[in-house]
């Protein structure tokens, strides 16, 4: 199994590049943001609870997202590998993910980190807000999401750096330039 974390702050291009990666490498895409938005549109209890955090730019509690990833891993026992997008977002989630993968005799092969300057992130997210319909793509919530990233999520890169699998990349070129850089890492694995 080949398991990759596509990492970076909100607006760094994780969703866009995940689509490119699954097309070229045939991995199963697991985005906790997409899974949570699906729960919200289905008006489940989990979705209604998660929405309060998401609309406020805060992370949803670890147990909720870990439980979602656990059940998705179980639903796809024959996957060639997974591309984790927007997960793990805390060190606790990273530890839980490692345990889940260990149970399958597997591990994270690489954390690919898309590095984009903050001003560019804000510009991209505001632009996306014009078309996405996402309730968290407005200036106030964007600022809160970036703070949440710095306070809780950035440490996940250090956690995987200590395991020797952190690959930081310049993420503010064009979509195809960034995909080329990701491909270089993927092809070397
Ligand atoms: P995203 O689509 O990845 O930008 O996620 C949108 C929102 O969903 C985030 O701002 C969080 O509120 C929530 N969320 C997504 N993934 C996670 C996660 N791994 N841990 C906690 N909250 C998450």
**Would you say the CB of residue 53 lies under 6 angstroms from ligand 1?**
yes
Task: Name which of 118, 116, 108, 117 is nearest 88 in CA terms.
Answer: 108
**Would you say the CB of residue 86 lies under 6 angstroms from ligand 1?**
yes
**11-69 confidence digits (pLDDT tens):** 999 999 999 999 999 999 999 999 999 999 999 999 999 999 999 999 999 999 999 99
CA of 34 to the centre of ligand 1 (A): 8
User: Model's pTM, two decimal places?
Assistant: 0.97
The protein residue whose alpha carbon is closest to atom 1 in ligand 1 is 33
Yes or no: is domain 2-188 CATH 3.40.50.720?
Answer: no
Distance CA 17, CA 11 (A): 11
Enter the tokens of residue 132: 């996405």
CA of 138 to the centre of ligand 1 (A): 15
User: Can you name the residues that pair with 5 across neighbouring β-strands?
Assistant: 84, 111
**73-112 confidence digits (pLDDT tens):** 999 999 999 999 999 999 999 999 999 999 999 999 999 9
Domain boundaries along the sequence of the chain: 2-188
- If one residue of 7, 29, 36 were mutated to test the ligand 1 pocket, choosing by the most ligand atoms within 8 A of its CB, it would be 36
**Would you say the CB of residue 33 lies under 6 angstroms from ligand 1?**
yes
User: Can you name the residues that pair with 167 across neighbouring β-strands?
Assistant: 112
Residue 71 DSSP SS3: helix
**Would you say the CB of residue 8 lies under 6 angstroms from ligand 1?**
no
């Amino acid at each position: 199994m080949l398991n990759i974390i596509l990492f970076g702050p909100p607006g760094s291009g994780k969703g866009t590049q995940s689509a490119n990666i699954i097309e070229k490498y045939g991995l199963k895409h697991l985005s906790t943001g997409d899974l949570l938005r699906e729960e919200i549109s289905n008006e489940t209890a989990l979705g209604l609870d998660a929405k309060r955090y998401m609309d406020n730019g805060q992370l949803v509690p670890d147990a909720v997202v870990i439980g979602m990833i656990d059940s998705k891993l179980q639903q796809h026992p024959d996957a060639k590998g997974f591309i984790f997008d927007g997960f793990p977002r805390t060190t606790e989630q990273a530890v839980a993910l490692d345990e889940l993968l260990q149970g399958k005799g597997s591990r994270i092969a690489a954390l690919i980190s898309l590095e984009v300057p903050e001003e560019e992130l804000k510009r991209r997210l505001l632009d996306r807000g014009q078309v996405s319909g996402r309730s968290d793509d407005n200036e106030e919530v964007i600022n809160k999401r970036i703070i949440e990233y710095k306070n809780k999520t950035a440490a996940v890169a250090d956690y995987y750096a200590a395991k020797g699998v952190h690959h930081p990349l310049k993420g503010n070129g064009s979509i195809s330039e960034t995909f080329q850089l990701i491909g270089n890492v993927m092809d070397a694995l």
